[in-house]
Amino acid sequence: MYLDKEEAIKLAASARQVILKLQDWTPDEPGMEDEREEINVVITDLEYSLEKLDSAIENSPTK
């Protein structure tokens, strides 16, 4: 799969929005520790992937 730089930037912005929504949605009620941990794992994975995407964007040639 190939993304041009503009598509990659849009994808990165969307990923940031997903991370923010997940952080807002993460339950903090007692008894929700397992769900909170699962969501935090997903957020961590997304942040890692986003770092790699940001690096690829920075290192990609401009059109």
pLDDT tens per residue, range 8-51: 999 999 999 999 999 998 888 888 989 999 999 999 999 999 99
> Is the whole-model pTM more than 0.85?
no
CB atoms within 10 A of CB 57: 15
pLDDT of residue 10: 94
Q: Which two tokens stand for residue 11?
A: 């994808």
Helices (runs of H) and strands (runs of E) counted in the chain: 2, 0
Based on the structure, what is the number of domains in the chain? 1
Q: Which two tokens stand for residue 33?
A: 């520790």
User: What is the domain extent for residue 48?
Assistant: 5-59
Query: Residue 33 and residue 39: Cα distance in Å, rounded?
Result: 10
Q: What is the DSSP letter of 10?
A: H
